Amino acid sequence: MQTALALTGTCVLARPPAAQRRPSRAVRLACRAGSGLNSPASLIGCHSQVWVGGWEKQDIIKSVEGTKNAGFDLIEVNVSVPEEMDGKLTKSIIEEYGLKASASMGLSKKHDISSEDNEIVKAGKEHLIKCLEKVKEVGGSYLCGVNYCAMDKYPGPATAAGLKNCTSSLKELTKRAEDMGINWGLEVINRYESNVCNTGLRAMELIDDAGNPPNLYVHLDTYHMNIEESSSEHAVGVCGDKLGYVHIGESHRGYLGTGSVDFAAFFRALAKYNYQEAITFESFSSAVVSGSLSNTLCVWRNLWEDSEDLAVSANNFMRSGLQAAYKVPLVKKMK
The catalytic residues are 187, 282
CA-to-CA distance for 181 and 178, rounded, in angstroms? 5
Phi/psi at 40 (nearest 5 deg)?
-65, 180
Determine the straight-line distance between the first and last CA of the chain, rounded to whole angstroms. 34
8 Å CB contact between 186 and 216: yes
Phi/psi at 44 (nearest 5 deg)?
-100, 120
CA-to-CA distance for 106 and 69, rounded, in angstroms? 27
CA 222 to chain centre: 11
CA-to-CA distance for 91 and 7, rounded, in angstroms? 8
CA-to-CA distance for 40 and 324, rounded, in angstroms? 11
Alpha helices in 190-306 (DSSP H): 200-209, 222-228, 232-239, 263-272, 291-297
Which region, left, alpha or beta, applies to residue 103 given φ > 0 means left and ψ of -120 to 50 means alpha?
beta
CA-to-CA distance for 316 and 203, rounded, in angstroms? 30
At residue 121, the 3 state secondary structure works out as helix
